[in-house]
Structure 1
Amino acid sequence: MGIRDIIEGKKQWRAHMARVKALPPDYQIVYKEIQRYIFKVGPIDLLDGPLLSGIVDFFEEGVAADKGVLELLGNDVAAFCDNLMKDSRTFADVYQESISGKPGTAEK
């Protein structure tokens, strides 16, 4: 990864966060909680995939339809996140594989 890739990544992240800041306050709060949860448990390909930008798209559609954030997600935000990541390989999966394998076979 070169310096140009790092700079481009930062530009994309700033543009993404500007979209988040344009959302109503209740959507911003829920997005930040989702982001925190996904960063903690999240899929390995999080930065390469469309997951976070897809959530912002979904939220922007909810705002345009004049719906509350919990109307879109339900009351259990963690279950919503788990459902989004159900088919993705997570860091927890990698860890579980590393401790359940034979000694000396863990990924390096």
Structure 2
Amino acid sequence: MGIQDIIEGKKQWRAHVARIKALPPDYQIVYREMQKYFFKVGPVDLTDGNLLSGIVDFLEEGVAAGKGVIELVGSDVAAFCDGLLEDSPTYAQLYQESISRKRG
């Protein structure tokens, strides 16, 4: 990874953060909770940037449609996040599998 890649990555992250700050306060709170959850669970494809930006797209569409954030994601943010990850491997799953292989 060269310096240009790092600079471009920072620009993209700043643009992402600006989109989040443009959301209504309740949407920002839910987004941050989702982000924390994903960082704890560790979906493997989190680093490619599509998951978080896709969520912001989804939330922006909800704002444009005049929906409340609870209407979009429900009252259980973790369950909503699990639904998004149901077909995606997580680092926690990979770790459990590696432990199982070592024991077996």
Please state which band the TM-score falls in when normalised by the shorter chain.
Answer: over 0.9
Q: For residue 66 of structure 1, what is the amino acid of its counterpart?
A: G
TM-score norm. by structure 2 comes to 0.94
Structure 1 runs of 4+ aligned residues shifted over 2 Å read none
Q: For residue 18 of structure 2, what is the amino acid of its counterpart?
A: A
What's the C-alpha RMSD, in Å, of the aligned pairs? Answer: 1.0
1:70-101 superposed Cα distances (whole Å, 9 cap, x missing partner):
00011111000001011111010111012111
What is the DSSP-based 3-state SS (H/G/I as helix, E as strand, rest coil) of the residue aligned with 1:75?
coil
Contact preservation (8 Å) 1:27, 1:69: yes
Q: Please say which of residues 41-50 and 54-63 is displaced more in the overlay.
A: 41-50
Question: What 5-or-longer segments of structure 1 have no aligned partner?
Answer: 104-108
1:82-97 to 2 correspondences below 5 Å? 82-97=82-97
1:48 counterpart residue number: 48
More helix by share: 2
1:5-64 superposed Cα distances (whole Å, 9 cap, x missing partner):
111111101000100000000000000000000011021121214111111011111111
| Aligned-partner Cα distance in 1 for 2:42–2:25 | 24
2:76 counterpart residue number: 76
Number of residue-to-residue matches in the alignment = 103
Question: What 5-or-longer segments of structure 2 have no aligned partner?
Answer: none
1:19 counterpart residue number: 19
TM-score norm. by structure 1 comes to 0.91
2:34 counterpart residue number: 34
| Aligned-partner Cα distance in 2 for 1:76–1:102 | 35
Contact preservation (8 Å) 1:42, 1:85: no
Pair 1:13–1:34, CA change in 2 (3 A): same
Among all aligned residue pairs of Structure 1 and Structure 2, give the percentage whose two residues are the same amino acid: 77
2:99 counterpart residue number: 99
